[in-house]
A and B are shown apart, each in its own frame.
Chain A
């Protein structure tokens, strides 16, 4: 872990703390959080917008589309399914293509160092 050892080792610091302070790990964590946290906020807000509309905007959600029996509320509900599937695919793709390689590289360095 030569390149990870750059930050000078202070007294009493464990190997994991040394890894935690390394720029590689800091970058990994920043990328994880900046992808996952906003996405979580997004789907929670969208879910509660939907629940609140169903609860308090009855007439709007009951509007029928062009003489059919399909209502605005039904479309919003199906929209929750679509958004869930889309977020799942986006996350899986991001994690598989971007995150895993970086995390694996760091893991190999740590385990190679026999922590």
Chain B
């Protein structure tokens, strides 16, 4: 997602320019934005409180009692997946970089086929709450759980930080707040609300927040899409030409690939690397995997993914129109000059179309988006810590479910505080590389072990550990030594110069490495095979025999 890398506020701008820009594009009315957002919070809190009445067991807290229907869960998946970076970032990337921005949405969508065909149903049939449940089914439990939980926590942490810092960037534009203290206050409010949702509502409350948010986001985008198209006589070609004309000199390249990534051979390789991470990352994202446990059967897991693919695909088609629409109706210069930079393309387009009311709605939806995604990430991390690390590694499974859920609730508070702190610190950082890194870690550390443990009889504990730790470490090392961290003016540490790895995304190296290490680790290990465990896993994964049952009804 590093379209957004260059898009999101990359570093501290000179203070004078920020104020000037804010005054220059003083769009919308913070009071309207705030009251619409408050209405969303009120409605969702009410729903969360209602949903929480039956929250008793661990299956209720982690998996919403496994009682959501496929369409409900599919909508929640879309709500979980379409983060602020998807909505604001892709619209902005298309408005400024044209075709290259479109490539992201394609990677994000096609990735769902991996989840649909290879992972969702088999995972639902063999696991309980987390990704580690599936891996520890036939591998040595404690080391594998520990490794999988660490990978989960790391992916969630990067993703969480990106969302929280993104929230800060949004505030500048949407609420007219541009002091560091004001932005920190808003990040704190987002964090506290999220802790409240997750503590009170558990997975059930979180799921309802995601469903409500997905409906609002997709409906809002649909209205804007039709509105934009109506301005161009429902002629896509006229809309594209409008964006080209508004961009002035060089506008032609908006319609061609390579405006952002075509500069050099290395930037093209970076793009290839990103494309690989995007398409293989989704099916390894822990908060996505955990959603498959909230439905009663594998068939419902399948239905959820089918719903999610339709909703996500249609939404990304909307963003294509909205991005070029923002380019044509607002213009790249105005977008770049706005306080939120490229991320402000969609809100500015809303203002150009429907004035402050539509801007207020879109602004509130964007906040709701962050809130819902952050809540989903938090409950995933809490489950991973309390279920995998506390209950099964530290207590070796000798812990009652109530104590486990109590630990999970405490973890939610801790993660909420970490997210607030991280969000405040990462405010002016280039945040999107964190999301790209999360996808790369998911694709290199999580996906190989999931696929091998489901399909490869010979796979063993050593293979899993080599693959998880190898994928994890190679990702982080390559990012640290990439141009994202040092060696250029837009890097995190602009002064330093240790960027010996030339690509901005590690996927091209770390993903094949993760898969390869899984094979090598398996073959060099002397661990005896467990054909009886694999037989049980294979039979259960395909037939659904012995799968976890629903514990609650709506």
Contacts and interface: CB of A to CB of B under 8 A. Distances in A.
Contacts of B110: 43, 47, 80, 84
B460 to A, nearest CB: 18
Interface in A62-78: 62, 64, 68-71, 73-74, 77
A81 B238 CA distance: 22
Interface string A82-103: 0011011101100110001001
Interface in A23-77: 25, 28-29, 32, 36, 39-40, 43-44, 47-48, 50-52, 54-56, 58, 61-62, 64, 68-71, 73-74, 77
Considering residues B99, B316, B540, B542, which has the most beta carbons from chain A within 10 angstroms of its beta carbon? B542
Interface string B247-289: 0000000011110011000001001100100010000000000
Given A69-B255, A81-B317, A87-B113, A103 B539 contact: no
A52 B276 CA distance: 11
A91 B116 contact: yes
A74 B102 CA distance: 9
Given A56-B268, A85-B309, A95 B302 contact: yes
Nearest to B242: A69
A73 B256 contact: yes
Contact of A88 (B113, B121, B244, B271): B113
Dominant secondary structure of chain B at its interface with chain A: helix
Contacts of A28: 542-543
Contacts of A106: 543, 545
Contacts of B542: 25, 28-29, 32, 103
Given A55-B261, A81-B109, A103-B544, A16 B532 contact: yes
B138 to A, nearest CB: 11
A102 B404 CA distance: 38
A115 B544 CA distance: 13
Interface residues of B, number: 53
A71 B241 CA distance: 11
Contacts of A50: 106
Interface string B509-548: 0000000000000000000000110011011101111100
A49 to B, nearest CB: 12
Interface of B: 99, 102-103, 106-107, 109-110, 112-114, 116-118, 121, 236-238, 240-241, 244, 255-258, 261-262, 268, 271-272, 275, 279, 299, 302-303, 305-306, 309-310, 313, 316-317, 531-532, 535-536, 538-540, 542-546
Given A73-B99, A73-B257, A92-B302, 14 more contacts: A25-B542, A40-B114, A40-B117, A47-B106, A47-B107, A54-B258, A88-B306, A91-B117, A92-B306, A96-B299, A104-B543, A106-B545, A107-B543, A115-B546
